């Protein structure tokens, strides 16, 4: 069994020296209710940077402990079971899956997966049909105030990422008339427009982002799906309309800095936000778990129909 261990930091970019890979043995015996699983997929996500701090800045995120096995979203297959509802060969998932090749887990903390819902693409349950897709869909539904026929323009930052690429497509599906993405390479921008159905995309590393936004969003911005924070978000907010809405999904540009979450806006941008009555409320998908099942089935249906590209 190989497992992945962590060394904590606070400021700065994570480097290979913060981690180590260890080889160890796993227990021969299992208790009632436990299962032995073999890991198939692990999700590596931006929020994990916060878990490398002693204080994660979030009451729902526990810090990774020094020299303990790292964990996160994962999928595996049951190899042996002492749990009544799980059998050998079942595919299962958890938000706190240990980063190790084989593990003995409490079966009651695992969710059984139905591969047919995602056309057999199991990894989708960690992405488009999992917490990532739920974040995009529920973020737009709960904080975006999108309505069909309202002629709304949505801007998505971090648009070529796992969540952003879904958010732009879902924006269209929910009723936005125009969706513009912001990403960091020409290739990403091309994929957003040609494959993901975005109306336009801006490479923020080229040219003047504010000018391009004005050109591509002539009626201003009504909904902003914010994955990045920082200068990009300040630029978008300055072009948002009266009574518009920010979906505060992530602030990736700030995760390697010792700042509170969500990071405060610069005074001039905060003034714009208040004067134009722009909502900017912290969004946490875990607060909407009562809508998880119906939302996941909607995501799976869109994937099966080819309306949501992964």
The pLDDT confidence band at residue 8, using thresholds 50, 70 and 90, is low
The burial of 145, by beta-carbon neighbours within 10 Å (0-12 exposed, 13-18 middle, 19 or more buried), is given as middle
Half-sphere exposure of 120 (CA within 13 A, CB side): 0
Tell me the torsion sign for CA atoms 100, 101, 103, 109: positive
The pLDDT confidence band at residue 46, using thresholds 50, 70 and 90, is confident
Predicted pLDDT at 58: 75
What crossing angle do the helices spanning 230-237 and 267-275 adopt, rounded to 10°? 30
pLDDT digits (tens, 9 = 90+) for 47-99: 888 888 888 777 778 889 988 999 999 999 999 999 999 999 999 999 999 99
The lowest-confidence range among 203-207, 228-232, 259-263 is: 259-263
Predicted pLDDT at 284: 83
Asked if residue 4 has pLDDT above 70, the reply is no
Question: What's the 3-state SS for the chain?
Answer: CEEEEECCCCCCCCCHHHEEEEECCCCCCCCCCEEEEEEEEECCCHHHHHHHCCCCCCCCCCCCCCCCECEEEEEEEEEEECCCCCCCCCEEEEEEEECECEEEEEHHHCEECCHHHHCCCHHHHHCCCCHHHHHHHHHHHHHCCCCCCCCCEEEEECCCCHHHHHHHHHHHHHCCCEEEEEECCHHHHHHHHHCCCCCEEEECCCCCHHHHHHHHCCCCEEEEEECCCHHHHHHHHCCEEEEEEEEECCCHHHCCCCCCCCCCCCHHHHHHHHHCCCEEEECCHHHHHHHHHHHHHHHHHHHHCCCCCC
Token pair for 105 = 């887990």
pLDDT digits (tens, 9 = 90+) for 207-237: 899 999 999 999 999 999 999 999 999 999 9
**Domains by residue range for the chain, with CATH:** 2-126 (3.90.180.10), 132-286 (3.40.50.720)
Predicted pLDDT at 53: 84
The burial of 306, by beta-carbon neighbours within 10 Å (0-12 exposed, 13-18 middle, 19 or more buried), is given as exposed
Token pair for 112 = 């059984």
Asked if residue 202 has pLDDT above 80, the reply is yes
Predicted pLDDT at 252: 74
> What is the C-alpha separation between 62 and 116, in angstroms, rounded?
33
């Amino acid at each position: 069994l190989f497992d992945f261990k962590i060394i904590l930091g606070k400021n700065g970019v994570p480097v290979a020296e913060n981690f180590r890979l260890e080889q160890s043995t796993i227990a021969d015996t299992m208790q009632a209710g436990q299962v032995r699983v073999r890991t198939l997929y692990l999700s590596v996500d931006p929020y994990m940077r916060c878990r490398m701090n002693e204080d994660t800045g979030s009451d729902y995120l526990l810090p990774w402990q020094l020299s303990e096995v790292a964990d996160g979203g994962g999928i595996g297959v049951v190899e042996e079971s002492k749990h009544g509802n799980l059998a050998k060969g079942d595919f299962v998932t958890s938000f706190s899956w240990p980063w190790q090749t084989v593990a003995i887990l409490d079966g009651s903390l695992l969710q059984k997966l139905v591969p047919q819902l995602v056309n057999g693409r199991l990894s989708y349950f960690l992405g488009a049909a999992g917490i990532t897709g739920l974040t995009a869909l529920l973020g737009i539904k709960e904080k975006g105030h999108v309505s069909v026929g309202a002629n709304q323009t949505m801007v998505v930052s971090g648009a070529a990422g796992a969540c952003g690429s879904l958010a732009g497509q879902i924006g269209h599906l929910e009723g936005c008339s125009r969706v513009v993405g912001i990403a960091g390479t020409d290739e990403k921008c091309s994929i957003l427009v040609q494959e993901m159905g975005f109306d336009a995309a801006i490479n923020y590393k080229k040219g003047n982002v504010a000018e391009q936004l004005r050109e591509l969003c002539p009626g201003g911005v009504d909904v902003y799906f914010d994955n990045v924070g920082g200068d990009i978000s300040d630029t978008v907010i300055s072009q948002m309309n009266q009574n518009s809405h920010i979906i505060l999904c992530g602030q990736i540009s700030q995760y390697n800095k010792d700042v509170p979450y969500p990071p405060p806006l610069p005074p001039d941008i905060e003034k714009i936000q208040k004067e134009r009555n722009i909502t900017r409320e912290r969004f946490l998908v875990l607060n909407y778990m009562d809508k998880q099942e119906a939302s996941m089935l909607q995501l799976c249906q869109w994937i099966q129909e080819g309306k949501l590209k992964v």
